[in-house]
Structure 1
Amino acid sequence: MWPSAEASKGVNFCGASGVCTAVVGSNISGRVLHALAGLCQQLHPRRHAADVLTVTVTPGEADRYNLTVADLHTYYVLAGATPVLVHNSCGGTTPLYRTSPIEHGDSELNSGLNHENFPRTDDGSYDGAAHFGNEKTASEWAKGSVDTHGTGFRVEVPNEWLRGHIDAGRIEEWEGMTEEHMEYVIPRELFDEFNSFPRFPWSGR
Structure 2
Amino acid sequence: MDKQKTKQKKFILDDETRYDIRNNPWRTVVIYVFFGFSWIIFSDKVLEFLIDDIAKFAQFQTYKGWFYVVLTAGLLYVLIRLDNRKIFGLSRSLSEKNDELTSFSEELVAKEADLEEKIDQLNTSLEAIERHKAYIDEIFNSTNTFILLWDMSGHIIDVNDHFLKSLAYNKDEIVGEKFEKFIHPDEDFTFEK
Same fold (TM over 0.5): no
Structure with greater proportional helix content: 2
What is the TM-score normalised by the length of structure 2?
0.18
- Higher relative CO (Cα under 8 Å, sequence separation at least 6) belongs to 1
Q: Which has the larger radius of gyration?
A: 2
Structure with greater proportional strand content: 1
What is the TM-score normalised by the length of structure 1?
0.17
